[in-house]
Amino acid sequence: MTDDSTRGEVADTGSETPPTGDRFPAQEILELDHVYEALGHPRRRYLCYSLLEDTQWSLTDLATTIAAWENDVPEHEVAANQRERVYVSLYHAHVPKLVDEGVIAFDDATETITPAENADQVLAALEGVGASLDSTQETHARGDTGDEER
């Protein structure tokens, strides 16, 4: 009886502070949207993995690194056409997508990629996933390329 009335009072005081209520869920859902959009394609995940290693990348270096991953060869063995295909998809699809999501900034003149305002939350999520699924496993789990461009 006394317990019930105590709970009732606690609930009442809780309902008097709505700001905490609407600040929390809405904000977190928005942040998750960024994370899912950013990490929703294997090449964008590779790109974000690369930002964990180094905070500044030239688009050509990034295309070489990703082509090496995808073709399972050392970077110096990446063929020009393999690099070109990845470069084109980064330039015309994944880089502008990540710029839109606020994850990276892209300098058109120097073709340099650097982290932007939403990079921390996306990289944190990626590191969380990475605890159980590292980049090597990711390569294998990917199966074939290009079947989840969304």
Partner 1 sequence: MVIRVTKNDNRGTTSGGDPTFDGDRHWQQAAQRLYEPDRDGGLTTAIVFAIADAADVLPSELTSPTLYETVDVAGIEQAFFSSHTDVTDRNGAGSVDFRYTEYLVTVGSDGWIRVHERTEPETV
Residues that bind partner 1 in the complex, under the rule CB under 8 A: 43, 70, 81, 84-89, 91-93, 96-97, 144-150
Q: How far is the CB of 44 from partner 1 (least distance, A)?
A: 11
Q: How far is the CB of 92 from partner 1 (least distance, A)?
A: 4
CA distance 37 to 32: 8
CB nearer partner 1, residue 6 or residue 60: 60
CB nearer partner 1, residue 111 or residue 130: 111
Q: How far is the CB of 69 from partner 1 (least distance, A)?
A: 12
CB nearer partner 1, residue 112 or residue 145: 145
Phi-psi region of 104 (alpha: psi -120 to 50; beta: other; left: phi over 0): beta
Question: How large is the C-alpha radius of gyration of the chain?
Answer: 21
Q: How far is the CB of 39 from partner 1 (least distance, A)?
A: 14
Q: How far is the CB of 63 from partner 1 (least distance, A)?
A: 9
Distances (CA, A) of 117 to 32, 122, 143: 14, 10, 31
Q: Dig out the tokens for 108 from the structure.
A: 């058109």
CB nearer partner 1, residue 4 or residue 144: 144
Q: In what order do the strands lie in the sheet with 57-58?
A: 57-58, 112-115, 104-107
Distances (CA, A) of 71 to 36, 54, 57: 25, 22, 20
CB nearer partner 1, residue 5 or residue 81: 81
